[in-house]
Amino acid sequence: MIRIDEKTGIFALYTKHTVMILQVVDGFVGMPYYGEKIRLAETDYLCRTDIRPFTPEQLPGEAVSFHSAFPHAYPFYGCGNFREPAFRAEQQDGSDTCCLKYIGCSMYKQKPKIPQLPQSFTKNCNTETLILYLHDEQAGVLAEVIYTLFQDSDIIAQSVRIQNQGEYPVMLRRVLSSCLCLEGELELITLNGTWARERYMQREPVGYGVKSIGSINGASSHTHNPFIAAVRPETTETQGEAWGMAFVYSGNFYACAEKDFQDKTQIMMGIHPDTFCWELESGKSFYTPEVLLNYSCRGLGRFSRNYHDFIRNHIIRSKYQYQERPVLVNSWEAFYFDFDSEKLLHLADTALACGLDMLVIDDGWFGHRDSDDSSLGDWFVNEKKIPQGMEWLGEQIQERNLKLGLWFEPEMISPDSELFQAHPDWAVQIPDRSITMSRNQYVLDLTRPEIRSYIFRSMADVIHEADISYIKWDMNRQITEAYTPSLPAHRQKEFFHRYILAVYEIQERLLKTFPDLMIENCAGGGGRFDCGMLYYSPQIWCSDNTDACDRAEIQLGTSLCYPPSCMGAHISACPNHIIGRKTDFMTRAHVALAGTFGYELDLMRMRQSEIQQIQTQIELYHEYSHLTREGSFYRLLQNACHIAWEFASPNRTEILVTVIQIRNKANQPRMHLKLQGLLPDSFYIFDGKVYTGSQLMRIGIPVPLMWGDGVSSLLYLTAENKE
């Protein structure tokens, strides 16, 4: 619900449990409050208009004092606000000062579309949208700051549209998507890491100055995830305040928190300004990607579930979102590059006997590729390995009542490829400068329409020929020497944004051409795990690290923002091919059950006892996968020895608890694990015994003793009516 008081200039944006207050003061829009629902009275004092930061007296018309203290909802550069700006634009005369003053607003019952970009959408849910119009008459710039509220959620979607209403082009130097102004002591939570160690949680105090994360490598990156949270020092999983931003974007991003001299913290997110500049011609508009704003006063658990529900209901469009996903085996860790059609069919026969649904052929099926130094871009069948052709192989797989999936790396080109020999200029490169080699490959200049058309046609031909049900879209290197001959010199910093728009365009075109196709996005594992990619695919490969103990931590960190149902999680062989650790076979399955579930190993090498375990694991998946897809997720425990989480069905009558023992200790006391989200007065049955919901939440459930490292327990509880 949106309420506007024209007399006081107050806009109150009410979600289910929160309110964001925006207020116009002296022609500028401030954000004096965002948090738990309150009853409004006077709010002027929150806007700090009485602050005297530079002089002992408040002088009439002291704009610098005003701007440096005012909690701008969309801060701009050059008029006295010396904190980080959200907006900065260079005009015809070379100046880059803008003064965005409020000139009006609009309200809509629907959500406006954002051209070319992934975005939240409505589905069986009423929405309200508030658009604030901020104008700089001299620059001829109009900023439309857009807030959309969803009836079924506490998430607010924010984006900005910039219009050039002037006579001359404007160079957009910095156009962030969102800004929050917060009071009081805060800590910052970010998700950081590297390849095979993505999205580990880091929590640190917000001190004076600017703390930032971001990416400038062309993707949202392994190093930092496009998500940021600010929390009170006392905030835990179950109590305390938390604010968040999640970016619906997969390219270069920037997020920062700045604590100023008034102990006020400003948090912002948007496209990274270091690698961005956009020439906005007269009469044209630029749309920023969307940021999902979140607030919880009931801890990080509720905060995460806000995001989970919203992403499932309003970001992921795929029909597979609430369907049981096919259980697949991926050929990579089974064969790597060493396979042929005979090996693939043997693997398919074994997969069928185990109860799997799909065979995915990973890297090596195309061109003349026998290692990672050739053939990217040559998306036609490797006849040395599959001489009968991909259509024949697809028919063979279908005769076995299996589905067929393929791996692609569409954004890349190998120097040793037919495509590069024919079009060496298609690789991203700067004239007269050598191209940096990475992973024996270059990046295709997808900003050029002829290259996008080639990639789409090549992929579509194979998908159609072999009746492909699933593709794994990979991206295994970063972008260097960013340049395109399709743009003039002064517009080269448009490259990175145009590049990710091109990726979106190709994926959108594939989905429209093949509406039943499932895309699993991947970027060297979890290097592009974000809400932008989830708009096109219901799942993303969480990490190339499939070790169960590491994966438990990676998936737990990822769950701070993203629902487990979108985490690509598979069972792999041991010792693990990345870190060499051995973990129990069933532990690997229990971790994969908290994601999409599948296999990354050579089933043909499995002993009969292991085949029987696989059949049992798949039965568990079919029995419990509805909880992963539709249930509420709770992080219960994480320390040096144990990790535990819980899924609860929407009506809270089914509870699935997973406990991973990372490291055993001698003579440990029996663990009583406190559960969450149960019906306090209901009776739950576990292991033939009856417990009340309140008992399980306040005292805990007795966890079976486990022997060894890397072992686990799966606890399933059901509620019954009992007086």
Spans of all domains in the chain:
2-314, 328-541, 637-720
Determine how β-strand 683-686 pairs with β-strand 672-673: unpaired
588 CB burial (10 A radius; 0-12, 13-18, 19+):
buried
> Exposed (0-12), middle (13-18) or buried (19+): which is 449, by Cβ within 10 Å?
exposed
Identify which of 100, 119, 101 has the alpha carbon closest to the alpha carbon of residue 111: 119
CA 407 to chain centroid: 21
CA distance 655 to 675: 9
Cis peptide before 169 (omega within 30 of 0): no
Do the Cβ atoms of 635 and 661 come closer than 8 Å? no
Q: State the CB neighbour count (10 A cutoff) for residue 445.
A: 27
Looking at residue 22, its amino acid is L
CA separation for the pair 461, 406 (Å, rounded): 13
- Whether 93 sits among the annotated catalytic residues: the reply is no
- Cα separation, 335 vs 111, in Å, equals 48
Write down the H helix ranges in 261-361: 299-314, 332-335, 341-354
Report whether CATH 2.70.98.60 matches the domain 2-314: yes
**Residue 545 has which token pair?**
């690290």
State the catalytic residue, choosing from 544, 547, 550, 584: 544
Alpha-carbon span 77 to 73, nearest angstrom? 13
Q: Side chain identity at 66, as an amino acid letter?
A: F
Q: Buried b / exposed e across 103-133, counting CB within 10 Å, b at 16+? A: eebeeeeebeebebbbbbbbeeeebbbbbbb
> Computed from CA positions of residues 675, 316, 469, 540, in that sequence, does the dihedral angle turn out positive or negative?
negative
CATH architecture of 637-720: Sandwich (2.60)
Closest CA to 520 of 339, 316, 349, 286: 316
Q: What is the DSSP letter of 489?
A: G
Q: What is the pLDDT of residue 44?
A: 66
Of 455, 446, 445, 449, residue with least CA distance to 425 = 445
Spatial CA neighbour of 240 closest among 309, 181, 308, 189: 189
Catalytic residue among 154, 357, 363, 474: 474
Collapsing DSSP to helix, strand or coil, 15 comes out as coil
pLDDT for the residue numbered 54: 54
* Tokens encoding 407: 């791996």
CA–CA gap between residue 545 and residue 670 (Å, rounded)? 31
| Contact indicator for 142, 111 with CB cutoff of 8 Å | no
Whole-number Å distance between alpha carbons of 471 and 455: 14
Q: Strands, E, within 165-284: which ranges?
A: 170-183, 187-194, 197-205, 209-214, 227-231, 242-248, 253-259, 264-271, 278-280
- pLDDT at res. 670: 87
- CA dist 259 and 106 (Å) reads 32
* The pLDDT value given to residue 183: 93
- For residue 217, CA distances in Å to 55, 254, 435, 475, 499 come to 44, 12, 15, 12, 12
Residue spans of the chain under pLDDT 50: 723
Q: What is the mean pLDDT of the chain?
A: 94
Name the pTM for this structure.
0.96
Nearest alpha carbon to residue 513 among 451, 457, 445, 444: 457
- The CA-atom distances, in angstroms, between 365 and each of 209, 329, 330, 394, 465 are 51, 16, 13, 13, 14
pLDDT at 523: 97
3-state class (DSSP) for residue 127: strand
The residue count for the chain:
723
Q: What is the CATH number of domain 328-541?
A: 3.20.20.70
613 neighbors 582 (Cβ within 8 angstroms): no
Other CB atoms closer than 10 Å to residue 180's CB: what's the count? Answer: 24
Q: Which letter does DSSP use for residue 590 in this model? A: H
CA 279 and chain centroid, separation:
28
Structure letter (DSSP) for residue 262: T
Output the pLDDT for position 723: 44
- Concatenate the DSSP letters of all residues of 341-385 into one string: HHHHHHHHHHHHHHT--EEEE-TTSBTT-SSTTS-TT--SB-TTT
Q: Which long-range contacts (CB under 8 A, 24 or more apart) does 384-388 make?
A: 384/340, 385/339, 385/340, 385/341, 386/340, 386/341, 386/344, 387/341, 388/341
- Is position 687 annotated as part of the catalytic site? no
Beta strand 278-280 with 285-287: parallel, antiparallel or unpaired? unpaired
Q: What is the pLDDT of residue 53?
A: 53
